A and B are shown apart, each in its own frame.
Chain A
Amino acid sequence: MDFISILSIFVMACFVGYYVVWSVTPALHTPLMAVTNAISSVIIVGALIAAAAGAQADGGQAAKWLGLVGVVLASVNIFGGFAVTERMLAMYKKKERK
């Protein structure tokens, strides 16, 4: 993809983010941070590419190990972020009507 199409996607996504996040209820701002944390770990994609590439080039071996460490870090975040969000959201209950 050329730079300008990528940039267009980025700018559009910023606008989507702006409107979506304003609609989040303030009571759920902590779960919002936890879940954004989990999804920003989509950076794991980059780490996977580095780890999968192996020794294709001079720096490939080093890059592979950096990628693997990146996979570990991002996995902590993905599993931890989604799990803690799930735990928090399960606690939000409505008043029981008698």
Chain B
Amino acid sequence: MGALFVRAAPFAAALLLPVTPALAASGEPVNPWVAAAYLVAGILFILALRGLSSPETSRAGNRYGMVGMLIAVGTTLVTHSIASLPEIGVAILIGGGIGFITARKIAMTDMPQLVAGFHSLVGLAAVLVGIAAYLNPGAFGILDATGEILTVSRVELGLGVAIGAITFSGSVIAFLKLNGNMSGAPIMLPLRHVINLGVLAGIIGLTAYFAIAPTVGTGAIFWTIVGLSFLIGFLLIIPIGGADMPVVVSMLNSYSGWAAAAMGFTLGNTAMIITGALVGSSGAILSYIMCKAMNRSFISVIAGGFGAESGPSDGAAKIDRPWKRGSAEDAAYMMKQAENVIIIPGYGMAVAQAQHAVREMADMLKEEGVNVKYAIHPVAGRMPGHMNVLLAEANVPYDEVFELEDINSEFAQADVAFIIGANDVVNPAAKTDKGSPIYGMPVFDVEKAKTIFFVKRSMGGVGYAGVDNEVFYMDQTMMLLSDAKKMCEEIVKAL
């Protein structure tokens, strides 16, 4: 059989030859053209990510990704028995339609929950594929000579469904928290670390046992792995608070990749393995960047509970300190006179949908000859790059938007720092107060600016870390207490 395929030189001709699925089995010959097609798909996915190194190349990258997916799906369809083709077509139409419409309609501010929702689907799809492979191992070519599932495939299957299930239930919780269906506050179960470690150990132990057990009676073990994995995903995410969501979303992104990779191992499919590895590393790197930007260890984020310990009483006590209230007119006047204005957006801007009003304000200032820049902290918002997308949506050119390390030295020359919906990322306690929960987190040096405007809904609320902010009480600070969008619109009127 193998020799026949090697001789079938023309690419298209080789693809048209139906390959029996069993040929894809580990250790058996694989149609080299099929393998090559999957490899090409994998390379196109690498190029898709490579394109994101700059906004100019990013759209071409996205197209590479689409072509890669087309090749992977097309190759699979032509090389497998196409008896179910009508059903498959309907399934793709239904799914594709839902996905496409959702992608068109979703508001940019809702992007974090959309991504979390999408992650849950990858996880669930991985679980379904894993179960299907367990039920019909012959079709996946993972049987050994005696008709049993190969040991190595059992390990891969067990891991694949476990990671998929964790991705699914974890992402569902993340979605509910981000979407506001569930409180963003951490939910702390007693003994949760013991329970979580116990469940994890159970999953690992059962997977090992599933690999070596005789086939008869493995059903119960397999289903228990699936069930426990759904449970642990749920348990892992409920104690994690809203401010740590960027890390959680990145982590689940990573998991969805590892789930795809594990299934790729089962199928011996290079496109799935390459993609899984890419997505897995991507999510892991994003989690690392987010943790570093908060000066927290990954373990402490996963352990959860951040922001739960702050009592309202100590917050109230500190608010008795004197602070100055500014008006939209003050802000308009001061910024019109300024030479350099730096705008620092945070999650509050997303909640108030204020990005368009902010850009309008910046445009008016630019007409007055003011140099306006935006400063974005890596953890601003609810997912990596959240603020950048919102500003891009409001037509803010990306070369006016700067990252923390690129702009932090400019605050000393700034006349006005305009903080809108951010709090912890401008808190000097991170630099000075060793006892503060955010100590060591890299923050903007806003206190070096000549004047600070702090847009905030009220004085009562403190940031997600539950820490009071020295900036509120500084001599050069004026608090603009209002809804972020309303305040910007008032400033625009006053300009």
Contacts and interface: CB of A to CB of B under 8 A. Distances in A.
Answer yes or no: do A and B interact: yes
Interface string A1-27: 111001001110110111011111111
A84 B103 contact: yes
A38 B272 contact: no
Given A32-B52, A87-B103, A71 B136 contact: no
Given A52-B82, A57-B136, A71 B88 contact: yes
Given A39-B278, A52-B77, A63 B267 contact: no
Interface residues of A, number: 86
Nearest to A91: B392
B52 A24 contact: yes
Given A45-B73, A75-B99, A95-B397, A40 B275 contact: yes
Cβ-closest 7 pairs across A and B: A75-B95, A59-B135, A80-B99, A29-B385, A53-B139, A17-B281, A13-B277
Contacts of A66: 128-129, 131-132, 135
A52 to B, nearest CB: 4
* Chain B interface residue bracket vs A: 35 or more
- Tell which of A10, A49, A62 has the most Cβ of chain B within 10 Å: A49
Contacts of B403: 26-27
Contacts of B93: 75
Interface stretch (B39-47, B327-335, B338-346): B39-47
A81 B61 CA distance: 14
A12 to B, nearest CB: 8
Contacts of A71: 88, 91-92, 95
Contacts of B76: 44-45, 48-49, 52
Nearest to B258: A40
25 contacts: A1-B35, A2-B26, A3-B152, A6-B264, A9-B273, A18-B285, A23-B53, A25-B52, A26-B384, A28-B52, A33-B384, A37-B279, A43-B125, A43-B272, A47-B125, A48-B76, A48-B80, A49-B80, A50-B133, A50-B136, A57-B135, A78-B95, A82-B62, A82-B65, A84-B111
Given A40-B257, A66-B135, A95-B399, A78 B99 contact: yes
Contacts of A40: 122, 256-257, 259-260, 275-276, 279
B121 interface: yes
B77 A48 contact: yes
B336 to A, nearest CB: 21
Contacts of B401: 27
A96 B397 CA distance: 8
Given A25-B55, A44-B73, A75-B92, A89 B136 contact: no
A63 B397 contact: no
A36 B283 contact: yes
Given A13-B273, A30-B111, A48-B76, A74 B122 contact: yes
A69 B27 contact: no
Contacts of A42: 41, 45, 69, 72, 260, 271-272, 275
Interface in B20-78: 21, 26-27, 30, 35, 41-42, 45-46, 48-50, 52-55, 58-59, 61-62, 65-66, 68-69, 72-73, 76-77
Contact of A94 (B27, B88, B393, B397): B397
B126 interface: yes
B274 interface: yes
Given A20-B46, A63-B139, 8 more contacts: A29-B286, A30-B383, A33-B384, A42-B45, A49-B140, A60-B136, A64-B136, A76-B98
Contacts of B139: 49-50, 52-53, 56-57, 60, 63
B96 A32 contact: no
B52 A77 contact: no
Interface of B: 21, 26-27, 30, 35, 41-42, 45-46, 48-50, 52-55, 58-59, 61-62, 65-66, 68-69, 72-73, 76-77, 80-85, 87-88, 91-100, 102-104, 106, 108, 111, 114-115, 118-119, 121-122, 124-126, 128-129, 131-140, 152, 249-250, 253, 256-257, 259-261, 263-283, 285-286, 289, 376, 378, 383-386, 388-389, 392-393, 395, 397-401, 403
Nearest to A84: B103
B135 A16 contact: no
A33 B116 CA distance: 10
A12 B261 CA distance: 13
Contacts of A36: 49, 253, 257, 278-279, 282-283
Given A41-B122, A42-B72, A95-B400, A63 B136 contact: yes
Contact of B397 (A60, A68, A93): A93
B121 A18 contact: no
A33 to B, nearest CB: 5
Nearest to B100: A79
A73 B128 contact: yes
Given A32-B49, A33-B249, A78-B96, A43 B259 contact: yes
Contact of A16 (B66, B266, B278): B278
Contact of B84 (A34, A51, A76, A95): A51
A31 B52 CA distance: 8
B128 A10 contact: no
